[in-house]
Amino acid sequence: MNNLMKPDGYHALLDLKQTELAIKKIKDFFLNSLSTELRLRRVTAPLFVLRGLGLNDDLNGVERPVAFPIKCMDESVAEVVHSLAKWKRVTLAEYEVQPGFGIVTDMNAIRADEELDNTHSLYVDQWDWERVMTREDRTLRYLRKIVNKIYSAILRTEFYICETYPQLRPYLPEDVFFIHSEELRRMYPDLTPKEREDAICKEHGAVFIIGIGGKLGDGQPHDLRAPDYDDWSTPNEDGLEGLNGDLLIWYPVLNRAIELSSMGIRVDREALLRQLKLQGKEDRAQLYFHRRLLDGRLPLSIGGGIGQSRLCMVLLHKAHIGETQSSIWPDQMRQECREAGMTLI
């Protein structure tokens, strides 16, 4: 269990019963706050999609989706979603959602290749949201505006849950610090991307790192991204490439940075073709989702995912995500967590 962090002197501030009640309070309150901030309508989402349509999220491009054959459909193969990044955009078109409005849904996924630790699980639950935008809104200024709205909903939820459970004390800063991944690399050229995240988050508390997916000055990306949902290759008004990013906070319980959301302005026709070529995946242009986008039958949009169990974890001051969700963990990890005061659900 080399990836397991065991904070010295850790003890949960809420017992199991309080924790379960608090989880529901957080989920209900945050969803209402997020929906109000971004003008989102809740929709029903699939747990799986058909293989070969290009609808599943490829994440970093190396994760294997959980798949199964469908007996009554001539053994067609379905895949459990990794996220709903592309499905949501199709749904915006089907529902004819207008600019300035969007959708939000509960996304549940299984990521069998995930490396298990304090913040990563086989089971993923997110609020997946998507909002229609205009061509004029495809700017870094607009991205920052949406990030600040999301962070306001997080701060409001933190205040609410700390008022409900006085043993919890608020610790999140009032504002988000924005920085491009290339600027961050230049600040800490000798650190790895994860070490850079720790350094900048420890200094500022809440950080949005812009430009995730494209190669930086050292020839390496800050992190990998699939080429067909976020726009990470379009130059922005700061002269750097990327209209997407990650929202992270400094988490004192684990003494490290934790990502709460990955989001961005989505690819338009030009960005999709450019990013498919950069990653040598031009063959995807013939898939259902990609054809609809290239033919102009999908709206311009911005969207992302916000981890439900992870947000509950950091707002309830838990040391392991298994304290706010039920999943499968190695026996050794369960034992070590129990000895370290982390009671996994």
Give the tens place of pLDDT for each residue, 145-189: 999 999 999 999 999 999 999 999 999 999 999 999 999 999 999
Q: What percent of the chain has pLDDT over 70?
A: 98
Higher pLDDT, 114 or 227: 227
Q: What is the DSSP letter of 221?
A: B
Going by pLDDT thresholds of 50, 70 and 90, the confidence category of residue 55 is confident
SS3 230: strand
Residue 24: band (very low, low, confident or very high) from pLDDT cuts 50, 70, 90 = very high
Number of helices (H), then strands (E), belonging to the chain: the values are: 9, 11
Compute the average pLDDT of residues 249-276. 97
Residue 81 pLDDT: 85
d(CA 258, CA 254): 9
Per-residue pLDDT at 302? 98
At residue 50 the predicted structure's pLDDT band, cuts being 50, 70 and 90, is confident
Residues marked active site are found at 57, 111, 126, 246, 259, 262
Distance between CA atoms of residues 92 and 101, nearest Å: 9
Return the pLDDT at 60. 57
Selected residue with higher pLDDT from 166 and 61: 166
For domain 16-339, the CATH class is: alpha beta
Q: Per-domain residue ranges for the chain?
A: 16-339
Q: Two tokens at 20?
A: 């379960």
Q: Mean pLDDT, to the nearest integer, of 140-144?
A: 97
CB 319 within 8 A of CB 254: yes
Among 255, 191, 275, which residue's Cα sits nearest to residue 8?
255
Assess whether pLDDT exceeds 80 at residue 111.
yes
Output the pLDDT for position 232.
96
Average pLDDT, the chain: 94
Phi-psi domain of 98 (left: phi exceeds 0; alpha: psi -120 through 50; beta: other): beta
DSSP 48-95: EEETTSS-S--TTS-PPPPEEEEGGGTTEEEEE-S--HHHHHHHHHHH
pLDDT of residue 61 exceeding 70, the answer is no
The pLDDT tens digits of the residues spanning 273-319 come to: 999 999 999 999 999 999 999 999 999 999 999 999 999 999 999 99
Only one residue has tokens 């996304």, namely: 107
pLDDT at 5 over 60: yes
Determine which helix (DSSP H) or strand (DSSP E) holds 22, and give its type and residue range: helix 16-38
